[in-house]
Amino acid sequence: MKKIYAVIITVLCLTTFRLTAQDLADLETFEKSMKPGAQLTYDVTVKDKQYKLIVTIKKLGEEISFSWKTTDPDNKSGNVTMTAGATADAVAFANIFKGGDVRLEKETCLWASKAVINSISTAAQATVKVNGVSDTVTVMGNTIGDFNFTINGNVVVVPGSEIQGGGEPKYTIDILESSKFPLIFKLDIGWTAVLTEIKNP
């Protein structure tokens, strides 16, 4: 009987290690894919309208910039730059894709700042402004999840955090667990955007 228990425990340990190793491998694959020229595709739903938001990374580092375009009937496009101050300290999310060039100094867009990630890590919650710097503060609790999308045609499963809060229906923001690239996987804030694909040139 003791041998049977030992075998079961060994199998469970090996399975857990395999899952953890796979998560780490997929996280590494994600981080390697994040470089200038990488193209990110989000499926967007606004009321009864569905279209794609296509983001092309231009610069990564303390300052982050990307160009974007949509496949909706208006075919909008623009450029977003987040300053070093924004990527470090911003607790507000800018969800504006109206067109033109935008420079964000107190907000982030499709990224979470270091301040938000630190709050999630230490307090298991984040106090954020969901709809821009002038929005009211929302306290959002954190749970852990796994998020699926494709990188260069291959399916990956990347761990992350889901923060949720506000009224009904609740706001939900899913953030990939990468200290280098805390990319938003999903927004559900009255409209939704979900990352489906990353492609490298």
Instruction: Give the pLDDT band of residue 115 (cuts 50, 70, 90).
Output: very high
Kind of pairing between the strands at 184-188 and 100-104: unpaired
Q: Is the pLDDT of residue 6 over 50?
A: no
Taking residue 17's Cβ as centre, other Cβ atoms within 10 Å add up to: 10
pLDDT tens across 63-89, in order?
999 999 999 877 899 999 999 999 999
Domain ranges of the chain: 2-199
Percent of the chain with pLDDT over 90: 80
The closest of 127, 114, 55, 54 to 83, measured between CA atoms, is 114
DSSP symbol at 126: E
Cα–Cα distance between 60 and 82 in angstroms, integer? Answer: 10
For residue 3, the model assigns a pLDDT of 46
Instruction: Give the pLDDT band of residue 16 (cuts 50, 70, 90).
Output: very low
pLDDT tens across 27-55, in order?
999 999 999 999 999 999 999 899 999 99
For residue 20, the model assigns a pLDDT of 60
Low-confidence winner among 38-42, 98-102, 111-115 (lowest mean pLDDT): 98-102
For residue 18, the model assigns a pLDDT of 36
For the chain, helix (H) and strand (E) counts, in that order, are 3, 13
For residue 73, the model assigns a pLDDT of 74
Average the pLDDT over 168-182 and give the result.
Answer: 94
Residues in the chain: 201
For residue 4, the model assigns a pLDDT of 46
For residue 7, the model assigns a pLDDT of 38
For residue 12, the model assigns a pLDDT of 39
pLDDT tens across 145-156, in order?
999 999 999 999
How many Å is the Cα radius of gyration of the chain?
18
Across the chain, what does the average pLDDT equal?
A: 89
Would you say 164 and 141 are in contact if contact means Cβ atoms under 8 Å apart? yes
Instruction: Give the pLDDT band of residue 98 (cuts 50, 70, 90).
Output: confident
Q: Is the pLDDT of residue 19 over 60?
A: no
